[in-house]
């Protein structure tokens, strides 16, 4: 897709600071790792519903991607994650202190990048961006809070991933529409579309953490199981399990010393027994259905093909 090539070229063009090299090189490193570029892509696709001169807004789409990668840099520290897109995370390649500080200056640079907007657009965009940034932090804190709790409800979990993941996707679409001068009603519908896609996207991530092919996934397969992360799959398994199955699941969750491969295999077998994969797939489908409903509420003269096709790719992805 041309948009992706243009996004990558714009990221390479952005130097993200010079000296000290030890502060800025980690930023260039994490931004060079690739990935789906989902958020800047959504900015451009939403903009493209109304205008065709998308190259003029590329710096602002890159700003959204830079914000996302700032959150990843800090999330990886909190999660003690060894890999990001099959490469060492910043705190592994450098150290924790450098990763914290590079992330901090990365966020400052996001605001510098956005400051180039026309004053009227900046005035409208900044409160939306600030709300989104705050909500992403709230979602991350809830995620960490869940780690210390014995149980988490489905509703709580879905709200957490709405904040941590989905609102930034919603903002990306809303922002693209705002940059194009779209009506506020369209901005809102695109935001709602993005949030629903985002929740479905994260649920798919939960699923792939267990069932993806290792070489394609880019992260440790089964990492959520190893760390007892309260994903949708584990929450539903705890709800559904009874008798011997419940005892076995509890035993694995309480073990302090274990063989990682053995634990992943055993818990995955429990998920299969309880039909957790099918349940999760149905939930994912329900959110994508909700997303398309929001999209279909927009003006019929708008060509939605590209956005619909892109959402379908996200729904069908295997890594």
pLDDT digits (tens, 9 = 90+) for 177-221: 999 999 999 999 999 999 999 999 999 999 999 998 765 555 557
β-sheet bridge partners, residue 88 = 83
Distance CA 224, CA 287 (A): 22
Using alpha carbons only, what angle is made at residue 57 by residues 56 and 60, rounded to the nearest 5 degrees?
140
Distance CA 201, CA 165 (A): 9
Residue 318 has a pLDDT of: 74
Residue 127 has a pLDDT of: 98
Distance CA 221, CA 43 (A): 30
Distance CA 155, CA 137 (A): 19
Cis omega before residue 111 (within 30°)?
no
Q: Which residue ranges make up each domain of the chain? A: 1-116
Helix (H, G, I), strand (E, B) or coil at 87: strand
Residues of the chain with confidence (pLDDT) below 70 = 1, 214-220, 319
In which residue are the tokens 């708008």 written?
302
Q: Which two tokens stand for residue 165?
A: 């993941």
Residue 15 has a pLDDT of: 87
Reported as type and span, the H/E element at residue 5 is helix 2-13
Distance CA 175, CA 75 (A): 24
Alpha helical stretches, state H, 212-275: 214-217, 223-226, 232-240, 243-254, 260-273
Domain covering 1-116 in this structure, CATH number: 1.10.600.10
Q: What share of the chain is helix, strand, coil (3-state, %, to 5)?
A: 75, 0, 25
The closest alpha carbon to 66, from 19, 100, 114, belongs to: 114
Distance CA 318, CA 281 (A): 12
């Amino acid at each position: 897709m041309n948009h992706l090539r243009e996004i990558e070229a714009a990221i390479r063009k952005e130097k993200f600071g010079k000296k000290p090299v030890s502060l800025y090189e980690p930023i260039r490193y994490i931004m060079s790792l690739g990935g789906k570029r989902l958020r800047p892509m959504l900015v451009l696709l939403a903009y493209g519903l109304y205008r065709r001169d998308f190259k003029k807004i590329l710096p602002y789409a890159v700003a959204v991607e830079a914000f996302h990668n700032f959150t990843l840099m800090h999330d990886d520290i909190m999660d003690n994650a060894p890999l990001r897109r099959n490469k060492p995370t910043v705190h592994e390649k450098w150290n924790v202190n450098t990763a914290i500080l590079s992330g901090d200056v990365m966020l400052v640079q996001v605001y510098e990048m956005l400051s180039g907007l026309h004053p009227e657009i900046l005035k409208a965009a900044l409160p939306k961006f600030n709300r989104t940034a705050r909500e992403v932090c709230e979602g991350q804190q809830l995620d960490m809070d869940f780690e210390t709790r014995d149980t988490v409800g489905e509703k709580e979990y879905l709200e957490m991933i709405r904040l941590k993941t989905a609102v930034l996707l919603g903002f990306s679409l809303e922002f693209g529409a705002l940059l194009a001068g779209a009506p506020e009603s369209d901005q809102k519908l695109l935001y709602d579309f993005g949030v629903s896609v985002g929740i479905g996207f994260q649920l798919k991530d939960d699923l792939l953490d267990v069932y993806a092919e290792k070489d394609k996934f880019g992260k440790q397969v089964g990492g959520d199981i190893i760390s007892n992360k309260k994903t949708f799959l584990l929450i539903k398994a705890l709800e559904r399990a009874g008798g011997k199955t419940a005892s076995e699941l509890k035993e694995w969750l309480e073990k302090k010393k274990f063989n990682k491969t053995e634990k992943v295999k055993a818990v995955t077998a429990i998920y299969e027994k309880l039909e957790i994969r099918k349940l999760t797939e149905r939930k994912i489908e329900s959110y994508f259905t909700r997303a398309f409903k929001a999209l279909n509420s927009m003006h019929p003269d708008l060509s939605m093909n590209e956005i619909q096709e892109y959402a379908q790719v996200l729904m069908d992805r295997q890594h």
